[in-house]
Amino acid sequence: MPSNTYSKRMTHKNFIVTLSILILFACSDDEDQNETTEASNTTTTSSNNSTSNNTSTVGGTDISILAEKFYYNSAVSVVVNDDNLVISAKDLPDHKSAYYNTNNPLYESYNEPNNPSFKLNPNNILEQDIVMTIPRFPKIDNSHEATPMGPMGIAVNSVAIFNQMAAPGDDILEELNTFDQYEGHPAPGGIYHYHIEPVWLTQTLGEDAFIGLLLDGFPVYGPVENSIRLTNDDLDDYHGHIHDTPEFPEGIYHYHITDELPWINGDGFYGTPGNITR
């Protein structure tokens, strides 16, 4: 675990050094003060080519098989309805964190000596009441709606998945140093979330495993596929592509996590997002 996380940290560090200038444009958005559903990152009018060619062959795949992948502990549950999946999540990570209250059994002080830049943010993990209603038969939406501030998806362990934006005035690349040893952190209000690879999940489930769902119903997989670690160049503008997966032998659009910005999603949802209350 530490060595894996260490290399990831170094990746971040190199990344910060080499690319911070290039991505400054992406750092002005709002995550922590405006966590509700309005989208304030730019909607990209897509000139995508490869994906639209496949419009007629994707969409409509029943994703209900993924319901059983969620942990179904006290922190998360999924109800499968005719047209949607309703995921209720308390957003309580099943791994240790320096952001749990010190009297919580899952509290662990930050113990990754290889990131001397780590700095605890002032928030603690607090139980949430997130309900996501996600299309059961996700379909491409050519408007590719921007992902919202706050949760844009949910991981199998009940933790919210956020996009690549930081709070106003904050730089997401500096916020990397507030991520705990499992690469998450809480926002004001206590909502714990991942912007990047949730290494606890990829370590326990596998680096190629199904990790969670975005609000549009398309699944998120880990960074590895056929023993190869993917890069952004392997993916489209929305950070995914179409082919078969173990859960979908007929093929499905799916997102992949990569080590580089934007990590989980790119220029908006591939499909039509469902809705979220919290």
Residues of this chain that bind Zn ion (CB under 5 A): 225
- Least separation, in Å, of the C-beta of 122 and Zn ion? 13
Distance between CA atoms of residues 274 and 255, nearest Å: 16
Pick the closer one to Zn ion by CB: 133 or 198: 198
Pick the closer one to Zn ion by CB: 136 or 241: 241
Residues 6+ apart with CB under 8 A from 150: 31, 34, 35, 36, 37, 160, 162, 191, 276, 278
Residues composing the chain:
278
- Least separation, in Å, of the C-beta of 169 and Zn ion? 13
Pick the closer one to Zn ion by CB: 141 or 225: 225
- Least separation, in Å, of the C-beta of 45 and Zn ion? 25
Residues 130, 278 contacting (CB under 8 angstroms)? yes
| Residue tagged 């059961």 (tokens) | 136
Residues 6+ apart with CB under 8 A from 45: none
Distance between CA atoms of residues 248 and 241, nearest Å: 13
3-class DSSP state for residue 114?
A: coil
- Least separation, in Å, of the C-beta of 21 and Zn ion? 22
Amino acid at 124: N
- Least separation, in Å, of the C-beta of 225 and Zn ion? 5
Pick the closer one to Zn ion by CB: 5 or 177: 177
Pick the closer one to Zn ion by CB: 170 or 267: 170
Residue nearest Zn ion (C-beta atom)? 225
Pick the closer one to Zn ion by CB: 145 or 225: 225
Phi, psi of 33 (to 5 degrees): -105, -15
- Least separation, in Å, of the C-beta of 278 and Zn ion? 15
Q: 32-56: buried (b, 16+ CB within 10 Å) or exposed (e) per residue?
A: beebebebebeeeebebeebeeeee
Pick the closer one to Zn ion by CB: 69 or 77: 69
- Least separation, in Å, of the C-beta of 80 and Zn ion? 24
Report the sign of the C-alpha dihedral through residues 213, 72, 88, 124, in that order: negative
Distance between CA atoms of residues 160 and 252, nearest Å: 23
